[in-house]
Structure formats: structure tokens, C-alpha cells
């Protein structure tokens, strides 16, 4: 979480934005942003999405490293960054890093029992999203409709429409989410 907080502060300051200005752009209170940057609270995935959208970034940019010249980009299982969001009861793992110009952003999201991406449905930046349930069961909500998904089920959806993920079960749910912009 320390790296995430430092990176968020750096990105905000690079753009010469005050906490208040970024908060207004993201729809997040400046006090919440301050607490996130001070590592006092762990933001939900939905809050991170809002902040990244306001900064004109993808969520993986908070976890990314400088560009790599290597091709193909290999990311070994033991090299993945894992960021835990206590607000969502979820772990986010970017599956591709070191290449800022990538057109898709693959993420592995593990929702603990009772975990969810946000307190309420949220929308993301322009683009498309695809998700596949790798392990467990989860509920996908979009525009007031709910869909229960099991291992191996997939969904392709418009992230601009309000949506959310919930794990209503006692075992973790693992989602492969690919964001394309």
C-alpha cells in the first residue's frame, strides 16, 4: 500500500493538482485522498478507478514500472505486484507491467468472502471490459441487473455503465479482468 500511496501522490503532484482539485475531478473527498496518500486508509477498487479516471490513467498505472524494452513481456507468478484493498476486501494483481502504451490491461482480482469492488455500483473510463471467473463464484451487477457467475463463466461488458462485482460466498473468488481502451 505504501508504493500505491507514494505513486498516487507523485502523479497528483506531477499534474500540479491539489487534493481538493483532484477530489472534485474524481468525486472523492479531499480528506479521503489525503488519508489514502498518508496510508491511513485503503481505498476500494471503485475509488481507485475514479481517481485514475480523473488523472487520465488506467488503474495499473499506479502499480506500473518504467517501460521495458523486452519483447515479449514476461511476468512470472512470483514477480507480480499485489495490492490489497481493505475497503473492497480484494487483492489486485496487474498481469502486464513495464509497457505504458499497452492497449489492454489484464488484472487478476481476488475477492475475499464478502468482498466487492465498491460500496455501490460504479462506472469506469471509456473502453471495454472482459472478465472470466477463474475460481469460485461471484455476482456481477450492471444497470440494476444481477448475474451469478461460476468458475469458467465469462462476461463482456461496457464499463461506462454502472457495474460492480460481489463475492457472496465463504471462499475467495478469482477474476481475470481485461480492460481495453
Q: In three state form, how does the secondary structure of 80-119 look?
A: CCCEEECCCCEEEEECCCCCCCCCEEEEEEEECCCCECCC
Total-model pTM? 0.69
Where does 2-62 sit in CATH, by number?
A: 1.10.260.40
Compute the radius of gyration of the chain from its Cα atoms. Answer: 16
In a 10 Å sphere around its CB, with 0-12 CB exposed, 13-18 middle and 19+ buried, how is residue 25 labelled?
middle
CA 59 to chain centre: 5
Q: What are the helix (H) ranges across the chain?
A: 2-14, 19-26, 30-37, 45-55
In the chain, where the domains are located: 2-62, 77-180
CB count within 10 Å of CB 155 equals 18
What is the chain's pLDDT, residue by residue, as a tens digit (181 residues)?
Answer: 677 788 888 888 888 999 999 999 989 898 989 998 898 888 888 888 888 888 887 776 666 655 555 667 777 888 888 888 888 888 988 888 766 667 788 999 999 999 988 766 677 767 889 999 999 999 999 988 999 999 999 999 998 888 999 999 999 999 999 988 7
Superfamily classification of domain 77-180: Jelly Rolls (2.60.120.10)
Amino acid at each position: 500500500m505504501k508504493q500505491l500511496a507514494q505513486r498516487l501522490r507523485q502523479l497528483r503532484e506531477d499534474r500540479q493538482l491539489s487534493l481538493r482539485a483532484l477530489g472534485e475531478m474524481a468525486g472523492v473527498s479531499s480528506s479521503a485522498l489525503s488519508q489514502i496518500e498518508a496510508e491511513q486508509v485503503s481505498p476500494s477498487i471503485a475509488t481507485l478507478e475514479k481517481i485514475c479516471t480523473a488523472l487520465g490513467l488506467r488503474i495499473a498505472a499506479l502499480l506500473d514500472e518504467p517501460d521495458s524494452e523486452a519483447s515479449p513481456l514476461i511476468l512470472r507468478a512470483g514477480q507480480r505486484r499485489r495490492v490489497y484493498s481493505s475497503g473492497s476486501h480484494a487483492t489486485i494483481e496487474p498481469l502486464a507491467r513495464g509497457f505504458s502504451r499497452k492497449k489492454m490491461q489484464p488484472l487478476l482480482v481476488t475477492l475475499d468472502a464478502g468482498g466487492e469492488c465498491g460500496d455501490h455500483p460504479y462506472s469506469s473510463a471509456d473502453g471495454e471490459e472482459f472478465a472470466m471467473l477463474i475460481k469460485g463464484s461471484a455476482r456481477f451487477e450492471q444497470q440494476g441487473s444481477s448475474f451469478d457467475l461460476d468458475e469458467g463463466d465469462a462476461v463482456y461488458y461496457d464499463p461506462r455503465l454502472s457495474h460492480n462485482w460481489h463475492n457472496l460466498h465463504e471462499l475467495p473468488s478469482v477474476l481475470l479482468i481485461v480492460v481495453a481502451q
